[in-house]
Amino acid sequence: GAGVSQSPRYKVAKRGQDVALRCDPISGHVSLFWYQQALGQGPEFLTYFQNEAQLDKSGLPSDRFFAERPEGSVSTLKIQRTQKEDSAVYLCASSLVSQETQYFGPGTRLLVL
Kindly list the residues in this chain that would bind another protein in the complex (CB under 8 A): 4, 31, 33, 35, 41-45, 48, 50, 55-56, 58-59, 91, 93, 98-107
> What's the min distance (Å) between Cβ of 62 and another protein?
16
- Cis omega (within 30 of 0) for bond into 8: yes
> What's the min distance (Å) between Cβ of 16 and another protein?
27
State how far Cα 68 lies from the chain centre: 10
Q: 71: phi > 0 → left, psi -120 to 50 → alpha, else beta; which?
A: alpha
> What's the min distance (Å) between Cβ of 6 and another protein?
8
**Cβ closer to another protein: 28 or 42?**
42
Q: 78: phi > 0 → left, psi -120 to 50 → alpha, else beta; which?
A: beta
**Cβ closer to another protein: 27 or 101?**
101
